[in-house]
């Protein structure tokens, strides 16, 4: 596999960590111990990051790092939405699609996060799929990947099963898929699949994850969910009338982060969002101007520990 290259304008994880340490220490006046606690690293790493910033002349009277403005955005989002860590990818064009820059930023973070012995739950969608070329895989022992959503019949790039399988392959781990459609015809069928066809055992694995990688789907345009054919145009319209602004794992939510009262939500074969909140590390990876309301709702219902998005989306969420 060809090694992924970093697109122009996308900083490394070390650069980002150093810029945030500099911001917290020199601008917000945090102590080195406080900076270490906020970033989830030890104090020695903070000392080294600050020293490296000085060596690079990124710290004089003010912060000269090109990431200073993004760091301020990240801190504003962290404080506004009570998120432990926000990563904002540089992105100048408010009219363009930010998927690739978000995926590049997420790929570096995911690469550094994966460890042996982990159980990782994965969602699906265009953004998550695009992280694959940017993830540096390695052979990990006792590594499990659990798909958090049923699949689709057609073999498409954004099939949940395909993403989960490829992700597991990157780390030579075991993949656990849900052998059922993402949306079934009735609540009775869903119940039968869970109770009689062994799906409950997979969802029990989803209750014991170390990491969950999630994305957000919009509803104002024909996104992956609707192209797959499971959600009809009439369902889309009635979901919007019920207050839905988007979905997480096909659970359609409103801006307040509540699952809307709609028939589709009773037929979805996916992990329970409230139970996913028990997962120690919940990574929400998404962006785009059509997903602002959906992201507000997703942040409230998922309570991500890490949120990765693009610069334009970040500015819209703050505004």
pTM assigned to the model: 0.80
CATH 1.10.10.10 residue window(s) in the chain:
13-66
| H or E element that contains 89 | strand 85-89
Tell me what the mean pLDDT of segment 60-84 comes to: 80
> What confidence score (pLDDT) does residue 65 get?
56
Residue 63 has pLDDT above 60, yes or no: no
Residues facing residue 88 across a β-bridge: 309
Q: What is the pLDDT of residues 102-142, one digit of tens each?
A: 999 999 999 999 999 999 999 988 899 999 999 988 999 99
> What confidence score (pLDDT) does residue 55 get?
82
- Residue 176 neighbours by CB under 8 Å, 6+ apart: 144, 145, 146, 147, 164, 202, 205
Report residue 2's pLDDT band, with 50, 70 and 90 as the boundaries: very low
Q: How far apart are CA 150 and CA 192, in angstroms?
A: 15
Q: How far apart are CA 259 and CA 254, in angstroms?
A: 7
Q: What is the pLDDT of residues 266-302, one digit of tens each?
A: 999 999 999 999 999 999 999 999 999 999 999 999 9
Give 3-state DSSP helix, strand, coil % of the chain, rounded to 5. Answer: 45, 15, 40
Return the axis-axis angle of helices 13-22 and 99-113, rounded to nearest 10°: 90
> What confidence score (pLDDT) does residue 315 get?
95
> What confidence score (pLDDT) does residue 158 get?
57
CATH code for the part of the protein at 88-318: 3.40.50.1360
Q: What is the pLDDT of residues 150-178, one digit of tens each?
A: 876 554 555 667 888 899 999 999 999 88
pLDDT-above-90 percentage for the chain: 58
> What confidence score (pLDDT) does residue 232 get?
82
> What confidence score (pLDDT) does residue 121 get?
96
CATH code for the part of the protein at 13-66: 1.10.10.10
Report residue 309's pLDDT band, with 50, 70 and 90 as the boundaries: very high
Tell me what the mean pLDDT of segment 209-222 comes to: 89
Residue 218, classed as helix, strand or coil, is strand
Q: What is the pLDDT of residues 227-252, one digit of tens each?
A: 566 778 888 999 999 999 999 999 99
Do the Cβ atoms of 279 and 121 come closer than 8 Å?
A: yes
The mean pLDDT of the chain is: 87
Residues in the chain, overall count: 319
Q: Which of 225, 289, 280 lies closest to 96, judged by CA?
A: 289
Report residue 3's pLDDT band, with 50, 70 and 90 as the boundaries: very low
CATH 3.40.50.1360 residue window(s) in the chain:
88-318
Q: What is the pLDDT of residues 74-86, one digit of tens each?
A: 999 999 999 999 9
């Amino acid at each position: 596999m060809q090694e992924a290259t970093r697109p122009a304008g996308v900083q490394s994880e070390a650069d980002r960590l150093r810029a945030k340490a500099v911001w917290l220490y020199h601008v917000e006046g945090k102590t080195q111990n406080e900076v270490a606690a906020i970033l989830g690293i030890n104090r020695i790493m903070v000392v080294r990051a600050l020293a490296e910033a000085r060596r690079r002349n990124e710290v004089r009277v003010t912060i000269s790092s090109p990431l200073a403005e993004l760091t301020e955005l990240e801190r504003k989002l962290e404080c506004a939405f009570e998120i432990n860590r926000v990563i904002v990818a540089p992105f100048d064009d408010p009219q363009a699609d930010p998927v690739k820059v978000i995926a590049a930023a997420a790929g570096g973070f995911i690469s550094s996060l994966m460890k042996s012995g982990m159980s990782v739950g994965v969602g699906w969608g265009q953004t998550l799929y695009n992280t694959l070329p940017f993830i540096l895989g390695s052979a990990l022992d006792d590594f499990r990947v659990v798909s958090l959503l049923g699949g689709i019949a057609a073999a498409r790039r954004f099939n949940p099963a395909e993403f989960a399988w490829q992700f597991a392959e990157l780390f030579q781990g075991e993949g656990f898929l849900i052998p059922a459609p993402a949306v079934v015809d009735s609540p009775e069928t869903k119940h039968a699949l869970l109770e009689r066809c062994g799906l409950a055992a997979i969802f029990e694995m989803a209750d014991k994850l170390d990491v969950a990688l999630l994305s957000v789907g919009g509803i104002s345009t024909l996104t992956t969910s609707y192209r797959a054919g499971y959600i009809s145009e009439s369902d889309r319209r009635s979901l919007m009338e019920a207050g839905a602004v988007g979905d997480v794992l096909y659970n359609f939510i409103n801006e307040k982060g509540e699952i809307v009262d709609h028939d589709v939500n009773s037929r979805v074969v996916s992990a329970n969002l409230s139970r996913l909140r028990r997962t120690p590390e919940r990574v929400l990876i998404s962006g785009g101007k059509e997903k602002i309301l959906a992201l507000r709702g997703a942040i409230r219902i998922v309570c991500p520990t890490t949120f990765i998005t693009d610069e334009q989306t970040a500015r819209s969420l703050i505004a």
